[in-house]
Amino acid sequence: MSAPLLEARGLTRRYALPRQSLLRKPPQMTAVDGISFTIEAGQTLGVVGESGSGKSTIARMVMAFEAPDAGQVLFRGQDLHGLKAGELRRQRQHFQMVFQDPFGSLDPRRRVGWSIAEPLRAIGLEADGARRSMEALEQVGLHPGDAEKYPHEFSGGQRQRIAIARAIVTRPALLVADEAVSALDVSVQAQILNLLMDLQEELGLGLLFISHDLAVIGSICDQLLVMQHGKAIEQGPVGQILRTPAQPYTQSLLKASGVFV
Ligand SMILES: Nc1ncnc2c1ncn2[C@@H]1O[C@H](COP(=O)(O)OP(=O)(O)OP(=O)(O)O)[C@@H](O)[C@H]1O
Ligand SMILES: [Mg+2]
C-alpha cells in the first residue's frame, strides 16, 4: 500500500509566553498538542475551532513554514521537516496555500499574471509563467486576459479566485486553505466553496480546509477535526460529528454556526 498524501503524526508546537521574571525561564504555552490526521488524494479534512485554538499553527507546520517541537509531517511518506532546504523548495510545488486575505498576498503594484506566476519562479519554471497563469485563471472561472489587470480591478470574490489560481499554478497535490472564505459575503462564499470542490474533483486535490465556522466546514469536508486549546477534542467523519457531536464544545460550535441537526 502506498503512503497517504499527507499524514500528521503527533504534531506539537509550543510558544514562549512573555517573561514574568528575569530570573526564571519564560513560561510556555502549547499551541498545538499532539495532533494526528491523514488526508488522501481527493479528500478534505476540515479543521474547526475558536480563535487561538491552533488551526493556523497546524497549517504553518503542514506547509513547512514552521517546524514542530514534536511530531512529523509526512508528505507522500516523506518527513517534510527532515528535508534539506533545496529538496524542500522542490517539494513545495506539490503543496500550496490559500490565505484569508488575498490583498495581503497579491502585490497591488503588479499585474495579477505576475503574482500568479510567483510560485513558478520560486522553483525555476518562470519560462512557462505567462501561459500557465492564463491557464490557471481559466481554471478558476476568470478570463486569461485578466492576467494583464491589477488587483484593485477585481471584487473580493474574484481576488480570492486569483489567490486560488496562484495556489494551483504549480499543479499541487495538496491545498491548504486557512479561512479562505471567511472575509467574503455568504453568497460569494458559496461560489468559492463550489469552485474549490470542482477543482478538487478535476485535479484530485487533497484539501486541508480551516475555518472557525462549522457551517462552512460541514458543507465541504469528509473528515473533521475539532480543535480547542491546541487539542483535538473530536475527530472523525463529518456527518457523524454533525449528527451526534460527543463534546459540548462541538455542540456550542454547531449552535453558533446555525447548523441544526
Ligand atoms: N509566533 C507566535 N508566537 C507566540 N504565540 C503564538 C505564535 N503564533 C501563534 N501563537 C499562539 O498560539 C495559539 C494558536 O494560534 P493560531 O494562530 O494557530 O490560532 P487559530 O486557531 O488559527 O486562531 P484564529 O481563528 O484567530 O486564526 C494562540 O494562543 C496564539 O496566540
Ligand atoms: Mg488562524
Pocket of ligand 1 (CB under 6 A): 15, 31, 49, 51-57, 212
Look at residue 223 in the predicted model and tell me its pLDDT. Answer: 96
Confidence of residue 122 (pLDDT cuts 50, 70, 90): confident
Helices (H), the chain: 55-62, 85-91, 102-105, 112-116, 118-122, 129-139, 156-168, 186-203, 214-218, 238-243, 248-257
Task: Tell me, yes or no, if the pTM score tops 0.85.
Answer: yes
Calculate mean pLDDT across residues 73-80.
Answer: 96
> Percent of the chain at pLDDT above 70?
97
At 195, list the grid cell. 469552485
Taking 60 as the threshold, does the pLDDT of residue 201 lie above it?
Answer: yes
Look at residue 77 in the predicted model and tell me its pLDDT. Answer: 95
Q: Name the CATH superfamily, with its identifier, for domain 1-28+39-83+174-261.
A: P-loop containing nucleotide triphosphate hydrolases (3.40.50.300)
Look at residue 40 in the predicted model and tell me its pLDDT. Answer: 96
Grid cell 479562505 — which residue? 180
pLDDT digits (tens, 9 = 90+) for 78-103: 999 999 999 999 999 999 999 887 66
State the distance from the centre of ligand 2 to the C-alpha of 209, rounded, in angstroms: 11
DSSP 243-260: HS--SHHHHHHHHHHT--
Calculate mean pLDDT across residues 193-202.
Answer: 95
Residue 228 one-letter amino acid: Q
- C-beta of residue 222 within 8 angstroms of C-beta of residue 45: yes
Per-domain boundaries in the chain: 1-28+39-83+174-261, 101-172
Calculate mean pLDDT across residues 243-250.
Answer: 86
Which is the closest atom of ligand 1 to the Cα of 32? 14
Cα separation, 96 vs 169, in Å, equals 9
Which residue is closest in CA terms to ligand 1's atom 6?
15
Which residue is closest in CA terms to ligand 1's atom 8?
57
- Mean per-residue pLDDT over the chain, rounded: 92
Most confident segment among 15-29, 62-76, 234-248 = 62-76
State the distance from the centre of ligand 1 to the C-alpha of 257, rounded, in angstroms: 22
Which ligand is the nearest neighbour of the Cα of 17? Answer: 1
Taking 80 as the threshold, does the pLDDT of residue 14 lie above it?
Answer: yes
Confidence of residue 249 (pLDDT cuts 50, 70, 90): confident
Taking 90 as the threshold, does the pLDDT of residue 2 lie above it?
Answer: no
End-to-end CA distance of the chain: 37
Taking 60 as the threshold, does the pLDDT of residue 260 lie above it?
Answer: no
